[in-house]
Every structure is written in C-alpha cells, then in structure tokens.
Chain A
Amino acid sequence: MKTMSEKAAFWSFIRYHPWRLLAALLFTVPLVWVVGFSLRQPGLPPPRSIEWIPDPIVWGNYARIFDIVPLATFLGNSLMVAAIAVPVTLLTASFAGFAMARSDLKFRQRMVLVCVLLMLVPVTALWLARFILFVNLGVIDTIWPLVAPAIMGSSPLFVLLYYWSFRRIPNEQFDAAHLDGASALGLWHHVAMPQARAATVTVTVLAFIFYWSDFFSPLLYLKSEERYTLPVALQIMQQMDKTNWPLLMAGATFMTAPVVVMFLLVQRHFWPDESKGEKTSAVAG
C-alpha cells in the first residue's frame, strides 16, 4: 500500500515540476547572465558562447561605477525620495482605505470603482500637464515633484490593498473599541493597522520599487545634476560608455539587487490567500 502511494507521489512529482521549472528558468536565467557578465573583465574580446562564470572574476566594475558618475550622491537622492515618499504613502493609502472600509455599502462600491478607473489612467498622458502645474508652483528642480504622488497614496492599488485588508476585520472589533471611546483615528491605530501588517509590508515594498525605479519624474522635473536619482545615473552611464557592457551590467545589477532582495523577503505576502481546506490538501499532496 505504502509503495503504491509512494509510486503515485513520484509520478505526480515528475508530472508537476518540469514545465514549471522551465517557466521559472525562462524568467530568471537572463538575470543570472547579467550578474555573471557584470563580473567580467572589461576590454576582453566578445565571448564565443554564453559565459555563466567569467574567467577571471573581477569585482572592480562595482567600484568603477562609483568613479565614472557621482553614484553615491545619486544613491543618496534616491534614498531620500524613498524615505519621504514611502512613509507618506503608507499614511495616505491606509487612511483612505480605512475611510472606505468604514463606509456604507454604496459609498464603498463607488470608491472601489473610482480606484479601478484611476488605475486605468495612463500616467504618461499626465506628464505634460503636471509639468506645467509644477512650473507654476515653482517646484521644478526640487525633490517635491518626485515625491508628489505620495499624497494620493502613490497608486490607487495601494488604497485598495489596505481597503481589502481592513474589510476582513470583523465589525464587532470596531464596535467594541468604539464603545470604549476610541476615535476614528484610534480605531485606525489600534484595531485596523495592527491587523493589516501584510498589507503594510506589501505596500512598503511596492511603493519603494515605484520610487526607486521612477525614471521620468527626475528626467522631466529636475535640472541640476546633483539632484538626480539612480535611474538617471544609469542612463548617463550608458551615454558615456555605450559598449562597456560589463560596467553597464554592474550598474544594472547595483540598481536591481536591492528591489529583488526586498521582493524575495516579502513575496509570500503577495500571493492571493488560500482557504484552510486546500492548505491541508496541499500538505498531503
């Protein structure tokens, strides 16, 4: 009996993995190549076949990228933008999500629709008008246009993520706290937020990626080089030395590694929930 089930498990294992492994490799192998190439000695002739590990391994490219552009300054600017924008995003998105979750059905449905419609607005279409707006506010060439989206929660998706988490909290908990004299802000702080940690983690990471990767805001709204952020640095690097691929791949890796690490640390919060029944069957299978 036991051997039978072991056999079945073996065959199901064989059937399950190959395709999925293939898909996973398809999406990750190019990134592995990039990291490998970033360790290649610059100036060598082009490789004849794919080099997984270069010979010799050279770490100097990662030091060089700090020499050819003021990367440390740009890194500092990028971190500054994230340090302002991410906490503000957490506040505004969770406030809005909380207000939605505590409203009546009709208002809730309308707000969800508004958020979904807002997600369909192409941001590229608004650059031009935003540019004119920022010119008139006199904030061109400052950090403010870069962090501005934070006051609207950065993305309607973040508001919805909080809204969905807060909706899962039973109403009785809010009612009880309310009877104890808690204000709306108190409910947000003591009841809602502690039970939405997964949403907070997800929004933190997604918002960080959003600001860390933002290339067009600095390109459009900044003029002085000392205020530029990392994405612009990468573009400058490319324009300076178009064919030094090991160096450029080191730059790309340097910019990508932090977000990849952050994503991998929190990715288990990303996936839609499983119900309990399936969890046990998953363990069994």
Chain B
Amino acid sequence: MGQSATMRWLLLAPFAIGTLFLIVLPALMTFALAFFEYDALSPPAWRGLANFSEAFHDPVFYTAAWNSLIFVGFAVPLRILGAMALALLLERRRQGTSAYRAAVFLPTVVPDVAYALIWLWIFNPLYGPLNLMLAAFGIKGAAWLVNPDTALGALIFMSLFQIGEGFVLTLAALRQIPTDYYEAARIDGATPERCFWHITLPLIAPWLFLLFARDVVITLQSSFTAAYLMTGGGPYYATFLMPIMIYEEAFDRFRFGLASAMMLTVFAAVAVTLYAVQKMMRHWLHEDHV
C-alpha cells in the first residue's frame, strides 16, 4: 500500500508542480504586486494602497469597469440561455442529431484570431455579409464597429456563437436526469412545461451555476481578445474593457503594480457576484427536489 501511495504522488507530481508554478505562484505574485510599484527592471517598491487609490481616482477605470459589466451582464445570461436552448433541442438522439450538434459546436473551435478577423469582415459596412443581408430585407445596416453606440453590442453579439462548452455541459446535465422522473410525471398528467419547471430546471440548476461561474471567466477573456484585435478599445472608449486597461497598464506602460491592483479588483468583483448568485440560488442548489 505504501508503495502504491508513493506511486500515486509521483503520477500526480507533474500536474501538481505545473499548477503550482503556472497558477498558484502567479496568483500569489499578482496579489503581492498590487501593493508595490514594479516595472520589471528596478526592484519592487512598497506602495501600500496607493495603486488602488490611483485606479479608483481614474475616470477611465470607471468607463472600463462599466463596459465590462455591460458585456458580462448581457453576454453571460444570453450565452447560457442559448446553450440551454440548443441542449434541449438536441438532447435526444435521432437521425441527424450528431450533424446538428457538430454544426452548433463548430464556431467554438475556430481560433480566436481567425474568429475576430471573420467578424471584422461580417460587420464591415461595405463588404460585410451582415449589412448585405439586412439590405436584402430593405434595412440599412449600421457601421457596427465604427459607431460607439453599436460597437460593444456587436462584440456581445459575436460572443453568442461560441457556446459549445456550455452546450455540451448542459447536454451532460440533462443526461443525468433519470428518465423515470419524466415517466412518473407523465402518468400524473403533467404537461411538458410543468416537467421542465419542476423536474428539468431544478435538477440541472447546480450545473447551470457552474456554467455561469465558468462563463463569467471565459467571457471576460474572450471579450478581451475580440476588443484587442477588432476595435482596440475604441471607438471613443466604447469597447474599452477592464482586461484591455490592465493589459495596457502592464505591457505598454510597465506598471505591473497598478495593473495587479486592477486585476485584484476585478477578481473581488467576480467573487462577490458568484457568492451572491450562489446565495440566491441556494434553494435550488441544495434542496432535494425529488
């Protein structure tokens, strides 16, 4: 037994060491750096809470925070609804289901840079198929990414098609529900709507919470790639998001301390949100419904 325990730790070692060096250590460093002035050349100098107060006194910080809030606030619920709708549509296997599932997953495997480039073209006012399609219906399309009123919305819209991960997760959640529940409900004369609200939704709720948490993280990340490559934060700060601001502070101005302080603020905001949602959903997450 002792030997197999040693072997177990040896097999776990690469993963554990990798996680330590690539996740735990950088996370701790970020936390510590938030209280220092550091430019990667001269040694770090203690700054106390000055980084935070500098960030909180910068009006651009509030613009970035507000834009990120709008992005996540619209994108995440819509992405989860989309993933759920697709999973419910394609849950049961029939002829053609595999092809449909593969089709809706396809945009998710497109590399980020290619995805950004493709949507840059789709949104193009002159050449873009979106406006050509709208013109066919007699609607005059906007200059989506050039107009400050539509740019952020356009980025949210394009994020709604890369929802393969949520789709598969919801599919797995639906498969966990024993079919007897539905049969019992049907014998009792329950309508499909009632089955959905009283069986399906409560039983997949913990999965949806997990998906929500993961999607907040993914959305923050993918919004950055899109804004960085497609609009550069513009026009007029319309798509200037928190990750863009952090990136610029860190890698353009080499203000690692200030960037870390902003990062910690985002982290804290995400943690508080997740905690609040978990509290609100507690009824669903923990109660045994069956």
Contacts and interface: CB of A to CB of B under 8 A. Distances in A.
Interface in B203-237: 210, 213-214, 217, 220-221, 224-225, 229
B8 interface: yes
A273 to B, nearest CB: 7
Contacts of A159: 15
A198 interface: no
Closest 3 CB pairs of A and B: A152-B18, A129-B26, A213-B111
B103 A24 contact: yes
B281 interface: no
A68 to B, nearest CB: 15
Interface of B: 4, 7-9, 11-12, 14-19, 21-23, 25-27, 29-30, 33, 40, 86, 89-90, 92-94, 96-107, 109-114, 117-118, 120-122, 124, 126-127, 129, 132-133, 135-136, 161, 168, 171-172, 175, 179, 210, 213-214, 217, 220-221, 224-225, 229, 243, 246-247, 250-251, 256, 259-260, 263, 266-267, 270
How big is chain A's contact interface, by range?
35 or more
A79 interface: no
Nearest to A28: B103
B111 A212 contact: yes
A248 B225 CA distance: 18
Among A102, A122, A209, residue most surrounded by chain B Cβ atoms (within 10 Å): A122
B11 A96 contact: yes
Contacts of A100: 12
A94 to B, nearest CB: 9
B259 to A, nearest CB: 6
Contacts of B18: 92, 148-153
A183 B7 contact: yes
Contact of A245 (B22, B121, B171): B121
Given A118-B19, A125-B267, A151-B18, A256 B110 contact: yes
Interface string A30-73: 11011001000000001111100000000000000000000000
Given A128-B251, A272-B172, 15 more contacts: A27-B107, A30-B122, A98-B11, A102-B8, A125-B267, A128-B26, A128-B30, A152-B23, A215-B112, A234-B113, A252-B118, A255-B114, A263-B109, A268-B98, A271-B98
A122 B1 CA distance: 38
B102 A124 contact: no
Nearest to B132: A50
Nearest to A206: B109
Given A116-B210, A132-B256, A263-B102, A148 B22 contact: yes
B208 to A, nearest CB: 14
B97 to A, nearest CB: 8
Nearest to B175: A272
A184 B133 CA distance: 60
Contact of A30 (B113, B118, B135): B118
15 contacts: A23-B100, A27-B104, A34-B118, A49-B135, A50-B133, A95-B14, A98-B11, A125-B30, A126-B30, A128-B33, A188-B11, A245-B127, A259-B111, A260-B110, A272-B171
A19 interface: yes
A220 B129 CA distance: 33
A112 to B, nearest CB: 12
A148 B26 CA distance: 14
Contact of A121 (B14, B23, B98): B23
B220 A124 contact: yes
Contacts of A271: 98, 101, 168, 171
B242 to A, nearest CB: 10
A123 interface: yes
A231 B26 contact: no
A95 B11 CA distance: 5
Contacts of A277: 179
Contact of A20 (B29, B90, B127): B90
Given A125-B30, A285-B94, A213 B113 contact: yes
B168 A282 contact: no
Given A125-B263, A234-B113, A153 B15 contact: yes
Contacts of B40: 131-132, 135
Contact of B15 (A26, A132, A152): A152
B102 A267 contact: yes
A259 B127 contact: no
Contacts of A128: 26, 30, 33, 246, 250-251, 256, 259-260, 263
Nearest to A95: B11
B96 A95 contact: no
Nearest to A152: B18
